[in-house]
Amino acid sequence: MPLDFDAAKNIANVLTEALPYIQQFTGSTIVVKYGGNAMTDEVLKNSFARDIVLMKLVGMNPVVVHGGGPQIGSLLTQLNIQSEFIDGIRVTDSKTMDVVEMVLGGLVNKEIVSLLNKNQGKAIGITGKDGNLIQAKKLLKKSAIDSKMMDMGQVGSIEKINREVLDTFKESNFIPVIAPIGTDRNGATYNINADTVAGEIAKVLDAEKLMLLTNIAGVMDKSGKVVTGLTTKQVDELIEDGTIHGGMLPKIECALDAVNAGVRSAHIIDGRVEHAVLLEIFTNTGVGTLISNTRNFDGE
């Protein structure tokens, strides 16, 4: 159905304004970690899907990595399986791992794929087990109390990302949707933090951007104001003086690690805002906190 003149004119004006940004990022890889409210609110889910589909349509290469903690917790409760957390990490025994794999690799992953496809995209869902994409090992965490190494069960850390698998998507019209599950050399399955997976994939693909969707407005200063345009040095200073602390630290560390490894910029953005991903790309102010390493821009 054709648009009326005014609607078409408005679209033309928007596209004209966006064209420099589109040209700037055409061919660029942008890794997006999808989670939080954006995964549960129907309006936000569809705005996210349209953002990702449009990115692919205009020549960018979006890669989606998703979490699913609340969904895992809900099913564990229904099955009367108790959850134990150590420093925010879910201890994952064999029964819990079965649920994690069912939820992340099945229910959540396929829902996101269907959502993208419904919004005119071409998405394919995979886990880190497919094509041996994520090679992992058991994560051993040091206790903050007595410095002993704690066994977290089937929680893993990343040894290697198989770039060949990801390159097949870059050269096609398909959008990869990745569940953060990996395997070791013996075929054991591991539950891996989704932020960590997104960061490692961004590094391996030499991504232009790493975007981490959250349920807060971004990194805030001590007065509660969102700060952005930060260098890695400034972020280190904010951590040192205690401005960045608690639950934000893991995301910040993930962002810093990616940027220090060559990813041009990392963004911690407010997933509660409609079209947050496109707003972060196509506006000067964005909807969160941008972190960059000035060395990337200076060519050093």
* 63 pLDDT above the threshold of 50: yes
Residue 146, in any domain of the structure: yes
* 14 pLDDT above the threshold of 70: no
Percent of the chain, pLDDT > 70?
Answer: 89
**CATH code of the domain covering residue 243:** 3.40.1160.10
Residue 21, in any domain of the structure: no
Residue 149, in any domain of the structure: yes
Identify the burial level of 264 via C-beta atoms within 10 angstroms of its C-beta, where 0-12 means exposed, 13-18 middle and 19 or more buried: middle
Residue 6, in any domain of the structure: no
| Whole-number Cα distances in Å, 83 to 28, 109, 250 | 40, 22, 21
Residue 176, in any domain of the structure: yes
The domain total for the chain is 1
* 141 pLDDT above the threshold of 80: no
Q: Average pLDDT of 227-239?
A: 88
Residue 79, in any domain of the structure: yes
- pTM (two decimals): 0.90
* 193 pLDDT above the threshold of 70: yes
* 84 pLDDT above the threshold of 80: yes
Residue 4, in any domain of the structure: no
Q: Please, what sign has the CA dihedral across residues 24, 28, 31, 34?
A: positive
Residue 22, in any domain of the structure: no
For residue range 261-300, list pLDDT tens digits in order: 999 999 999 999 999 999 888 876 678 899 987 654 444 3
Among candidate residues 183, 101, 179, 178, the one with its CA nearest the CA of residue 136: 183
Q: Average pLDDT of 236-249?
A: 84
Range of the domain at 231: 27-298
* β-bridge pairing 29-34 and 61-66: parallel
Q: Average pLDDT of 147-167?
A: 89
